[in-house]
């Protein structure tokens, strides 16, 4: 908007008409005082100011405007009666555009000057806008940087206060911060702790981790710079992200030597205990079986002998499972693989379960008249385990189905379905883990939680897959698949 200041309404009228004909919006003031009031309230792109006015003349108005911080940059076009006014024009007016035009006004010159000022005004406005946005961008960056530094500071003090060896790296994996513990294990702030010669090379492992962008969890033996012996540590590192972008990595090494030692001792104990229990139990079992065979059908103690045999068998199964567990732990679980008929194994397993649990109906479905390559006894062990669990965890529904078939992808699949207590979704991925038992049912049903762990290991070692589908209260279907043609016979 252009402000026209003149004490003569007819002058204002003619200027206003010329400007508005050329689409310049205008405002008017009939005196210097009125102009100053308006300038304080509104913002203008240009002021056209008559020099000779009663009261405040044009120069006084301009001088006053130069004292207003808000308005001092508004360009002024003086309307002067004679060229002699010219010398006063720059007086007291520090910045902003200044020009004059003499009366009588030539409309072409007026328009030329107004256009120039207007263009300047618009360019100025644009520059101001850019400047303001740059300023706010700088402010924002400063703020973010400050916050980041504050957060990094907090993180560093946390990492300093923990007993673990801790570090952070940049997004591309360069070490940025290490806590004090680090230097007890690493030769310098820039190099990783010293690892056992047989363990992964940490620098290389770190490169791979950073390239993958995925969290790392690794057991590795590291030693103090002043010690000889290595201790197991769990290295855990996670990427810190902003949105989808990794901004840094944070990692810790936690000493797990004591837990490792405890697990080693526990495994050793389980191994020794199950061996020691197995020998006398085998003798007891043999004697009870002998008794069972020789006792008369009518003998009143027959019932007790049969019950004893059932319990001895249960005990024997438990000990066999414990022995298998310790063999898995020590890598001694051996497989005697050769071709065998799956149908034969299924028939034997079903027959055994029918005899052991006469109250249950075991329904066979599908056929899998195929020859598999693997350890027959171990595969039978898996099937018996699935069937035993199906019976055990279905106290109120006495039907169990077993289905076998060859799938289109060349896998043989065995599925055992029961209508028992079922398993909640959040437990389903854990039940094949060592010693895992579903808490809600653990008191109701006896067990050690290792049967499925052994099954999983057996199936894995046959290049197969295993799993469960289940609904609480509706029942479960446990399945496993093994390839009809193993990929790599040389593994066997
Ligand atoms: P155990 O039966 O000795 O506890 P397993 O390793 O065979 O050990 O099974 C682990 C857990 O999985 C069991 O404790 C039980 O909670 C759950 N589970 C296994 N089979 C079934 C099933 N058929 N129905 C419901 N829960 C089952």
- Asked if residues 341 and 303 have their Cβ atoms less than 8 Å apart, the reply is no
Which residue's C-alpha comes closest to atom 11 of ligand 1? Answer: 437
Atom index in ligand 1 nearest the CA of residue 437 equals: 14
pLDDT > 90? residue 67: no
Tell me which residue has its CA closest to atom 25 in ligand 1. 422
Q: Is it the case that residue 478 has pLDDT exceeding 80?
A: yes
Site of tokens 């952070």: 168
Q: Quick one: which of 372, 277, 375 has its CA closest to 334?
A: 375
Q: How confident is the model at residue 492 (pLDDT cuts 50, 70, 90)?
A: very low
Average confidence (pLDDT) over 316-333 = 91
pLDDT at residue 491 is higher than 50? no
- The residue whose CB lies within 8 Å of the most ligand 1 atoms, and thus the one to mutate among 393, 424, 457, 480, is 393
Say whether pLDDT at 310 is over 60: yes
Average the pLDDT over 235-242 and give the result. 95
Distance CA 384, CA 478 (A): 12
pLDDT attached to residue 297: 87
* 451 alpha carbon – ligand 1 mean position (Å): 8
* Ligand 1 atom with the shortest distance to the CA of 416: 23
> Pick the residue with more confidence: 460 or 98?
460
**Which of 322, 438, 446, 472 should be mutated for ligand 1, with most atoms under 8 A from CB?**
438
Q: Among residues of the chain, what percentage have pLDDT more than 90?
A: 77
Q: What share of residues in the chain are helix, strand, coil (percent, to 5)?
A: 45, 25, 30
Q: Is the pLDDT of residue 132 over 80?
A: yes
What pLDDT is attached to residue 299? Answer: 93
* Token digits of residue 463: 């290049």
Per-residue pLDDT, 55 = 87
Phi-psi region of 24 (alpha: psi -120 to 50; beta: other; left: phi over 0): beta
> What digits encode the pLDDT tens for the residues 389-447?
999 999 999 999 999 999 888 899 999 999 999 999 999 999 999 999 999 888 999 89
For residue 309, the CA-to-ligand 1 centroid distance in Å is: 24
pLDDT-based confidence at residue 364 (cuts at 50, 70, 90): very high
Q: What is the predicted pLDDT for the residue at 469?
A: 98
- The answer, yes or no, to whether residue 94 has pLDDT greater than 50, is no
Given a cut of 60, is residue 294 above it in pLDDT? yes
Choosing from 315, 382, 389 the residue with most ligand 1 atoms within 8 A of its CB, the one to mutate for a pocket test is 389
452 lines ligand 1 (CB under 6 A): yes
Residue 92: pLDDT band with limits 50, 70, 90 = very low
Q: Are 252 and 297 in contact (CB under 8 A)?
A: no
Q: Is the pTM of this model over 0.75?
A: no
Closest CA to 455 of 361, 379, 389, 375: 379
Give residue 330's pLDDT band: very low, low, confident or very high (50, 70, 90): confident
Question: From CA 72, how far away is CA 96, in angstroms rounded?
Answer: 7
Helix (H) or strand (E) holding 491: none
Cα distance between residue 186 and residue 197, in whole Å = 15
pLDDT number for residue 103: 83
Q: Which residues, 6 or more positions from 58, have their beta carbon under 8 angstroms from its beta carbon?
A: 5, 32, 49, 50, 51, 52, 78, 79, 80
- Report CA(449)–ligand 1 centroid distance (Å): 7
Q: Does any ligand 1 atom lie closer than 6 A to the CB of residue 437?
A: yes
* Atom number, ligand 1, closest to the C-alpha of residue 385: 7
Q: Which pLDDT belongs to residue 200? A: 83
Could you give phi then psi for residue 176, rounded to 5 degrees? Answer: -110, -40
Kindly state the average pLDDT of the residues 45-53: 91
Q: How confident is the model at residue 59 (pLDDT cuts 50, 70, 90)?
A: confident
**150-200: pLDDT as tens digits:** 988 999 999 999 999 999 999 999 999 999 999 999 999 999 998 999 998
* pLDDT tens by residue, 190-229: 999 989 999 988 999 999 999 999 999 999 999 999 999 9
For ligand 1, the distance from its centroid to the CA atom of residue 437, given in whole angstroms, is 6
Of 48-57, 67-76, 279-288, 296-305, the range with the lowest mean pLDDT is 67-76
Rounded-to-integer distance, Cα 420 and Cα 422, Å: 6
Does the pLDDT of residue 454 top 80, yes or no?
yes
Mean pLDDT estimate for the chain? 91
């Amino acid at each position: 908007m252009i402000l026209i200041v003149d004490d003569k309404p007819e002058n204002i009228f003619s200027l206003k008409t010329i400007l508005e004909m050329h689409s310049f919006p205008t405002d008017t003031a009939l005196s210097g005082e009125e102009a100053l009031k308006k300038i304080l309230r509104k913002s203008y792109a240009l002021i056209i100011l008559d020099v000779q006015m009663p009261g405040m003349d044009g120069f006084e108005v301009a001088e006053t405007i130069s004292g207003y911080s808000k308005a001092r940059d508004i360009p002024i076009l003086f309307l002067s009666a004679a060229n002699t006014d010219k010398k006063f024009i720059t007086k007291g007016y520090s910045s902003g555009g200044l020009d004059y035009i003499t009366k009588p006004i030539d409309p072409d010159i007026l328009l030329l000057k107004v256009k120039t000022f207007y263009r300047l005004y618009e360019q100025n406005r644009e520059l101001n806008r850019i400047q303001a946005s740059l300023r706010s961008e700088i402010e924002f960056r400063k703020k973010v940087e400050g916050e980041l530094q504050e957060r990094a500071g907090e993180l560093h003090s946390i990492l300093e206060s923990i007993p673990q060896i801790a570090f952070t790296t940049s997004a591309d994996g360069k070490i940025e911060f290490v806590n004090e513990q680090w230097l007890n294990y690493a030769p310098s702030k820039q190099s990783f702790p010293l690892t056992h010669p047989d363990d992964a090379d940490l620098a290389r492992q770190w490169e791979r981790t950073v390239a993958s962008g995925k969290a790392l969890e690794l057991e590795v033996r590291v030693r103090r710079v002043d010690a000889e012996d290595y201790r197991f540590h769990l290295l855990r590192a996670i990427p810190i992200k902003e949105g989808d972008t990794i901004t840094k990595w944070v990692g810790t090494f936690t000493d797990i030597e004591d837990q490792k030692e405890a697990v080693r001792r526990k495994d050793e104990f389980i191994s020794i205990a199950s061996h020691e229990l197995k020998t006398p139990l085998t003798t007891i079992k043999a004697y009870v079986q002998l008794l069972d065979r020789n006792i008369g059908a009518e003998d009143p103690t027959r019932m007790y002998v049969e019950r004893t045999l059932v319990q001895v068998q249960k005990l024997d199964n438990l000990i066999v499972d414990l022995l298998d567990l310790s063999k898995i732990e020590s890598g001694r679980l051996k497989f005697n693989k050769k071709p065998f008929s799956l149908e034969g194994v299924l028939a034997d397993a079903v027959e055994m379960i029918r005899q052991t649990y006469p109250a249950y109906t075991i329904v066979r479905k599908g056929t899998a008249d195929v020859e598999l390559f693997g350890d027959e006894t171990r595969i039978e062990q898996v099937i018996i385990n699935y069937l035993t669990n199906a019976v055990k965890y279905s106290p109120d529904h006495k039907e169990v189905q077993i289905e076998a078939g060859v799938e289109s992808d060349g896998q043989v699949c065995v599925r055992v379905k029961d209508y028992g207590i079922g398993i909640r979704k959040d437990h389903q991925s854990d039940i094949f883990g060592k010693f895992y038992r579903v808490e809600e049912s653990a008191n109701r049903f006896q067990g050690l939680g290792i049967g499925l762990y052994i099954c999983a290991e057996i199936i894995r070692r046959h290049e197969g897959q295993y799993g469960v589908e289940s609904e609480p209260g509706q029942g479960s279907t446990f399945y496993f698949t093994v390839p009809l043609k193993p990929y790599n016979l040389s593994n066997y």
